[in-house]
């Protein structure tokens, strides 16, 4: 089924566990432990977020990661585009190489409308919203904030 990429999911979760003001540095090992992401893979994702201008990175003693701007000013769409590219929801829903208004697949009209809705939804959810959701979830389950529900492995049907 349709979903964000694993890299985007890890990126959203990782950024949402950083200091929301962008003032404090957080070490990579701490981010990895809160996201349950493999540390080498997470390092690549965080590096991409740094190159995209969403994250400050600092190597060495007292280094780590911090947000470039407050979490309330970074949307999930910003993060997804930083990791997966500007055309993160682009392409044909059926995977066809050529799909346009002139040469449409059976789902073309539906997908054009839904892509706009999905982008708006992602743009309306900030990292601060994600962090608040995780804190609330952790409080209700009496666990520390950690792996987001959308990152949980789901059994394959069939």
Query: Which domains are delineated in the chain?
Result: 6-85+126-143 (1.10.10.10)
Q: What is the end-to-end Cα distance of the chain in Å, rounded?
A: 14
Which DSSP string do the residues of 33-54 spell out, in sequence order? HHHT--HHHHHHHHHHHHHTTS
Q: Are 139 and 125 in contact (CB under 8 A)?
A: no
What is the pTM assigned to this prediction?
A: 0.80
Beta-strand (E) ranges in 20-154? 55-58, 64-67
Q: What is the pLDDT of residues 21-60, one digit of tens each?
A: 777 888 888 888 888 888 889 999 999 999 999 999 988 8
Asked whether the predicted pLDDT for residue 155 surpasses 50, the reply is no
Q: List strand residue ranges (DSSP E) for the chain, in order.
A: 55-58, 64-67
Give residue 68's pLDDT band: very low, low, confident or very high (50, 70, 90).
very high
Dump pLDDT digits (tens) for 95-152.
888 888 888 899 999 998 998 999 999 999 999 999 999 888 878 876 555 545 444 4
């Amino acid at each position: 089924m349709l979903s964000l990429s694993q890299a985007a999911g890890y990126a959203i979760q990782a950024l949402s566990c950083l200091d929301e003001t962008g003032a404090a540095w957080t070490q990579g090992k701490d981010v990895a432990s809160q996201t349950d992401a493999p540390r080498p893979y997470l390092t690549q994702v965080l590096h991409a977020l740094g190159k995209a201008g969403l994250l400050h990175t600092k190597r060495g003693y007292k280094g780590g990661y911090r947000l470039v701007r407050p979490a309330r000013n970074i949307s999930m769409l910003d993060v997804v585009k930083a990791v997966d590219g500007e055309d993160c929801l682009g392409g044909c829903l059926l995977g066809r190489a050529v799909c346009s208004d002139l040469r449409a697949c059976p789902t073309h009209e539906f997908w054009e409308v839904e892509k706009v809705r999905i982008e708006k939804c992602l743009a309306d959810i900030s990292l601060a919203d994600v962090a608040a959701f995780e804190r609330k979830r952790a409080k209700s389950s009496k666990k520390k904030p950690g792996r987001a529900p959308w990152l949980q492995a789901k059994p394959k049907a069939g």
